[in-house]
Every structure is written in structure tokens, then in C-alpha cells.
Amino acid sequence: MPVRMKDIARDLNVSVVTISKVLRNHSDIGPATRKRVLQRVKELGYQPNWVARSLVTRRTYIIGLVVPDLMHSFFAEVAKGVGRKLRPRGYNVVISNSEEDSQLEAEEVNLLLARQVDGLLLASAQKPGQSDLFERIEEHKVPVVLIDRRISGLDLSYVGVDDKQVGLLATEHLIERGCRRIAHIRGPQISTGLGRLAGYRQALSRHGLRVASRYVLAGDSGDSTGYEAMRRLLALDPPPDGVFCYNDPVAAGAMKAVLEAGLRVPEDLAVVGAGNVHYSDLLRVPLSTVDQSSSLIGEHAADLLLDLVESKRPRRPRTILLAPKLVVRDSTNR
Amino acid sequence: MPVRMKDIARDLNVSVVTISKVLRNHSDIGPATRKRVLQRVKELGYQPNWVARSLVTRRTYIIGLVVPDLMHSFFAEVAKGVGRKLRPRGYNVVISNSEEDSQLEAEEVNLLLARQVDGLLLASAQKPGQSDLFERIEEHKVPVVLIDRRISGLDLSYVGVDDKQVGLLATEHLIERGCRRIAHIRGPQISTGLGRLAGYRQALSRHGLRVASRYVLAGDSGDSTGYEAMRRLLALDPPPDGVFCYNDPVAAGAMKAVLEAGLRVPEDLAVVGAGNVHYSDLLRVPLSTVDQSSSLIGEHAADLLLDLVESKRPRRPRTILLAPKLVVRDSTNR
DNA sequence: TTGAAAGCGCTACCAT
DNA sequence: ATGGTAGCGCTTTCAA
């Protein structure tokens, strides 16, 4: 039903090959023929069938982007950055949501591989050594760039921020603002969560503060866990006077719990998040946070991946570490 | 390099057809052969090449989802709902960001059509009659379901809320809370923006309030425009004592402007948004809004589309209108 | 400058 | 129950 090259070729009494060459700006075509072909292509509104083309070229111009949660606007922003770079180059992006589940993630990646994607952008929920996912990717020889989360022991390209630095910046800021009982609501046991935790610990010990383990609570990455964790922290005696949260959604949830308990932010308890998602400025108390230049992460990752995809010979993995930046707002302004 | 059916066939001394049948659970294969095949498939980690399969079946199991802005978490939530329904059925979703630009949107859709997507989910930025986009889609015989925004004059399946009702609910709520000078920060000139505006007007006239045109300001859909628009509203004499905003991001921006001007929400000025995005509860003043069951919209749209895609014979377009629900929080609590 | 032939990896159809 | 043949729409190679 849709127009094929064959149809145009028949109309014009030329071969299919000629059409194909014109459409790909092949040089060895006479100007007259080229013009006739282009004319007819426009008349019929012909569009090449990418499935057929992909089968022979082995290039789909599809990039797979796997994120743990699109609702977390950090990842939406990364996705936007990725799209901004990839679209003008003719690529489409398939976005898969792993829901922070490594099993689901593996299935999604397998599907993407079966679809012959040209490359993979992965904010992985895998714990190290948890699966053979990366071996599969390796086998398929599909280039990968890790985003936001690194996987230890794997020599893959990576774009993200220095997470230890994130933890350091946030925690030292709290210390500098006079907090002395600083809690941390941790993230998952992946590079970001562990790195920020390490930064938190280092900041405390660097300033001679004790790391009280009861002040470190496991959460995961949503605002409801921030809320729950904060309620438990408030029940401690003495409660903390500052908290560094894994990310902004967690911090938003935590802040809600603090205010609900009748305490003031930042006077009674200062709060810092991480990620600088765009609504942080609009929260009950505008949230101090550590900016990760999310859309830049997406753009850099896309660039790195394009380089891998389009270079003929294998290239060494590269790492781009962006410097986190502290953004001070009211939630620590005391 | 990757394993093909041909390889397995050779190993096992059977034909490619046999492999193909086993993998698709075709009935007419002997249990012994089936077992041998499955065994070898597992050993080699074989995965069917979807590109090749698609070329012959004319089904890609890819659905295109076009949204104006992924960063607006309403659409991220819709996308999540869509994915939740489609993934278990073996579909992948290509998400395209049109950035509220109808030109860009048309290009994206064309690319998706060239990719032979099985169906299209479209939150369109097209103004009526603006382009031949829908004719192209029609030609390709690719099923479409419109999301959130309808296009007048087109008989296409649609899932969304009754936008006039959204405007009515929000505005009547403000009236009921004692507001008398009610402003509206409008959205773009598409069904959602126009519908909500109509609801706003109807609510006012129903209660004998004058619709002062200077109280209706054009915005588009982001928080920065909400902020700007609100500053202009506050400069009026008398300023409004209530405002209904096109959506939650606009409302968040508006609220920021109000508070910055030293006024109180809701005492001096009550604010209502629309969309009930998940962080609305966490804003400076928790935001009253009209819920649109965003992820349900995504799920229903996916269902409708699947029905269109998988039914042999053409089906009539269907419309699913979800009832908007008022969510009262502090921003109107007076 | 043009095109005939082969083939990408798979499935549909029809024999056996 | 199994497989040979043809073909999906395109590109690649090579000959004319």
C-alpha cells in the first residue's frame, strides 16, 4: 500500500538501484535522472522503509535509553538532553523504564538488543555482578554509555557527576551553616548512593564530627521514602539538626515530614538534596541542593555514544565527570 | 556475528523453517525436535532479529508516543501509564518530544511512520488545519489515538478529561471560597487551553460575575510564564483575589510571584492549577488543583491503541473522557 | 552513468 | 511433522 522504490522505478522506467542512489545522494547519477526521481518522490510522498534499509545496512538509527524512573525529573531532563543531540542526527530514542528493578532492566535491554539498536544509554539498576547483562551487550557488540550510575569492575564509557563530591559539598555546607547532628537519608546501593554516602562520611570526619549510624537511614529514591525516613529521624533523641538527602524527591518528602511535625526549616532542621530538579525552587521551603547539570549529562552521553557508534574502529571507553555545584536556597539559610 | 536461525539449523540438521516454527510455538513440530531446538537456542543465547521479522510480518511492535514536553511531569506520567500497558504485550515505545512545536512534531511523526511503527499516541501541538500531518498518518493506515488534546474536525480516537469541566470545577471552587475577582492564566490555543478557558467563563457567568478581559492573560504552559503572567496581574488595580491557572507548573510559577510580592496564599490570593502533578503537594503552599488521572489516561490510550492495532477489521474511533476531580489543598483554603 | 544479481534474516505458503 | 521456495524493500557489488 505505501509507495516503494519499485513503484517509482516503474513509473520512470529506471531501475530500483537508481532510485536508491538518488535518495542517498550517490554521486554517479545524471542530473536529469536525479531531478526526475526527486520530482516523483515528492509527488508520491515517498518515504524509505527504514525496516528494510536497516536489515541490509545493519544500522537502525535507534538508540535505547534505559532509566530507572521517568517520573523523576532528573531522568526526564537527561532524556531531553539526549534527544536534543540525537534527533538532529536522525536517530530516534526508545526510552525504557526499568522501575529500579534489575530484572526488568535486563529484559528491556534484551529486547532492545533484539531490535538491533545502534547503541545503548544506560542508567542501570544493576548491582555489580548481579547478572550477565553486560556480557550480552558485549556479545552483540553494541556500544554502551553508562549514565549517572557506574558499575564497578566494568570498563565502560560513563557520564555523570562525582558523587563523593556531591556528598561532600552538601554535608560541608550543612556543617558550615552550624549543623552538628547531621543525618543522611541514603539512596540505593549503587554508585550514586554509595558515593554520596562516602562524601557525607568524609565531610563529617574531616570536621571531627562523629558519624552516628542511627543518623544514617536507608531509603530508596522517592519522596514517600523521604517522608517515612524523616519521621523516623525526628523520633530520635536528640533529633538531627540537618539532613543530607540522596536526591531532591527524597528531600522534598523529608521536608514535608519536618514541617508537618511543626518544626521549622531551616531553623530547627536544615535540608539539602541533590539533583536540582526544576521544581526545587518552588517547594514549601525552596530547597538547597547540589546541581548535577542533568541535561548536560544527557548531551555528553549522546555525544560519546555517537562517537562510538559512528567510528569504524573500536574506541577506548571514556569517562566524563561533571563537577557538581552547590545551589543554596532557603532550606539551609540560617 | 550474532547467532542466526541458519546457524542453529545447520547445527541440528533441520531446516530454518523448523526453527522459526518452534520459536513461534507453531503446533506442527514434533516434541523431540522442539526440545532439541529450544536447547540449542538457549545454549547459544539466540535472539530473533526483529528487524528481519518486521520486514516480513509488517509489524514492528513499536509504538510512537509524541508529547510536547517530557519535563512536564503530567506527560511523564502519561508515558509511564502507556509503558505499563504496552511492555507486557511486547511493545517498545519510542518517545518523541515535540517541544510544543507543530513543525517539529510533524517531522517526528514522519520519521516514526518511516520506521513503520504499529501505532501512534499523540498529544499534538497542531492547531486545526495547520498541516497535512493527519492525512499522512491516514495514508499510512497507522492507527492513532490522541491524548490530552483533541483536534477539532478530526474523527480520531481520543483519551483525556473534559477540559471545560476542569475550568468549571476550578473556578467554581474559587467562587465558593469567596473570591470575586478571579483571573485566569490561559494555556495555548489548543483544545485543553480553550476548554479550560470556556469552563472558567461559564463558571463566572453562571454566578453573575463579570469576565474582565484584563484578568485573562495568555501564557503557555511552563512555570516561568506563570511567574511572568502573575506579576502583570498583581500590577492591576484592583489585583485579583483568585487565579485559575492552565496547569500546575503555571500555578507554581504564579504562586512564586505572589509570595515574592509579599502577599499571602490563599488569604490575599487563592491559586488553583490543573493536572495534580505529584509534587504539587510539596509546593510552598500545597496547591489545590484538578486531577486528570494522568497515568490512567496513558493506560486507557494504550488499550485503545492496542485494540486498533490488533483488530483485523477497521474499528470506529472511540473517545474516553475521564472525569476531572477537584483536589483541595492549602492554596485555596480560606 | 546505469542496472542485474545477490542477499540481509526472517516468515508465508504449499508440498511432501 | 518437516522443509523447499519465494519474497518482504532495500543496499551492495560488479559488470556493462
DSSP string, B53-121: HHHHH----EEEEEES-TTSHHHHHHHHHHHHHHGGGT-EEEEEE-TT-HHHHHHHHHHHHHTT-SEEE
The shortest CB-CB distance from B94 to any of A93, A141, A281 is to A93
Question: Which residue type occupies B147?
Answer: I
Separation between Cα atoms, residue A163 and residue B134, nearest integer Å: 47
Does B312 have pLDDT greater than 80? no
Q: pLDDT at position B212, please?
A: 86
Nucleotide with smallest C1' distance to residue B15 CA: D3
Environment class of B171 (CB within 10 Å of its CB; exposed 0-12, middle 13-18, buried 19+): buried
- The string of pLDDT tens digits covering residues B180-194 is 999 999 999 999 999
Higher pLDDT, residue B294 or B130 = B294
- CA dist., res. A86 & res. B207, Å (int): 52
pLDDT of residue B296 exceeding 80: yes
**A142-151, A276-285, B240-249, B256-265, range with the lowest pLDDT:** A276-285
Q: What is the pLDDT of residue B225?
A: 87
Question: Mean pLDDT, to the nearest integer, of B275-283?
Answer: 90
Contact A94 B93 (CB under 8 A): yes
Please indicate if any CB of chain A lies within 8 Å of the CB of B113.
Answer: yes
pLDDT, one tens digit per residue, over A185-238 is 999 999 999 999 999 999 999 999 988 899 999 877 778 889 999 999 999 999
pLDDT digits (tens, 9 = 90+) for A73-94: 899 999 999 999 999 999 999 9
Cell triple for B255: 504562586
Distance CA B120, CA B144 (A): 5
pLDDT at B313: 78
Going by their DSSP bridges, the two strands B325-327 and B289-291 should be labelled as antiparallel
Residues lower than pLDDT 50 in chain A: none
Cβ A27 to strand C below 7 Å:
yes
Interface check for B136 against chain A (CB to CB < 8 A): the answer is: yes
pLDDT at A212: 86
Chain A positions touching B112 (Cβ under 8 A) are 92
Give Cα separations from B153 to A282, B128, B279 (angstroms). Answer: 39, 8, 35
Average confidence (pLDDT) over B9-24: 93
Q: Is A252 on the interface with B (CB under 8 A)?
A: yes
B139 pLDDT more than 80: yes
Return the top range by mean pLDDT from A216-220, B250-254, B312-316.
B250-254
Is B332 within 8 Å of B269 (Cβ atoms)?
no
Between the CA of B4 and the C1' of D4, what is the distance in angstroms? 19
B39 touches strand D (CB under 7 A): no
The continuous run of DSSP H or E covering A95 comes out as strand A92-97
Average pLDDT over residues B164-180: 97
Closest alpha carbon to A120 in A156, A151, A166: A156
Q: Which residues contact B270 (CB under 8 A, 6 or more apart)?
A: B174, B177, B179, B241, B242, B243, B288, B331, B332, B334
CB proximity B70 to A under 8 Å: yes
A78 contact partners, CB below 8 Å, separation of at least 6? A67, A123, A147, A148, A294, A295, A297, A298, A301
Note the pLDDT of residue B27: 82
Residue A24: CB less than 7 A from any atom in strand D: yes
pLDDT digits (tens, 9 = 90+) for B18-50: 999 999 998 888 888 999 999 999 999 999 999
The average pLDDT across B158-183 equals 97
- The phi, psi pair for B207, rounded to 5°, reads -105, 20
C-alpha cell at B142: 497507522
Half-sphere exposure of B21 (CA within 13 A, CB side): 14
The pLDDT value given to residue A2: 85
Give the residue from B139, B279, B280, B331 with the most A CB atoms within 10 Å of its CB, the best one to mutate.
B279
B130 pLDDT more than 80: no
Positions of strand C less than 7 angstroms from a protein CB: 1-5, 7-13
Mean pLDDT of B255-278: 95
Can you spell out the DSSP letters for A138-197? Answer: HHHT--EEEES---TT---EEEEE-HHHHHHHHHHHHHHTT--SEEEEE--SSHHHHHHH
Q: What residues form DSSP beta bridges with A322?
A: A161
Nearest by Cα to B107 from B74, B87, B83, B131: B131
Identify whether the C-beta of residue A197 lies closer than 8 Å to the C-beta of residue A216: yes
Q: How far apart are CA A23 and CA A42, in angstroms?
A: 11
Q: Which of residues 277-296 of A touch strand D (CB under 7 A)?
A: none
Residues of A in contact with B286 (CB under 8 A): 284
d(CA B137, CA B119): 10
Decide which of B304 and B129 is more confident: B304
**C-alpha–C-alpha distance, residues A312 and B160, integer Å:** 47
Residues 151-210 of B with CB under 8 A from A: none
Taking phi first (over 0 means left), then psi (-120 to 50 degrees means alpha), and beta for anything else, what does residue A311 get? beta
What is the rounded average pLDDT for all residues in chain A?
93
Q: Is the dihedral of CA A24, A25, A28, A34 positive or negative?
A: positive
Protein CA at A70 to nucleotide C1' at C4, angstroms: 51
pLDDT of residue A28: 82
Q: If you measure CA to C1', which residue is closest to nucleotide C2? A: A18
Side-chain-side CA neighbours of A93 within 13 Å: the count stands at 30
Strand partners, B265: none
Contact of B252 with chain A, judged by CB distance below 8 Å, is answered with: yes
Strand C and A29 CB separated by under 7 Å: yes
Confidence (pLDDT) at A19:
94
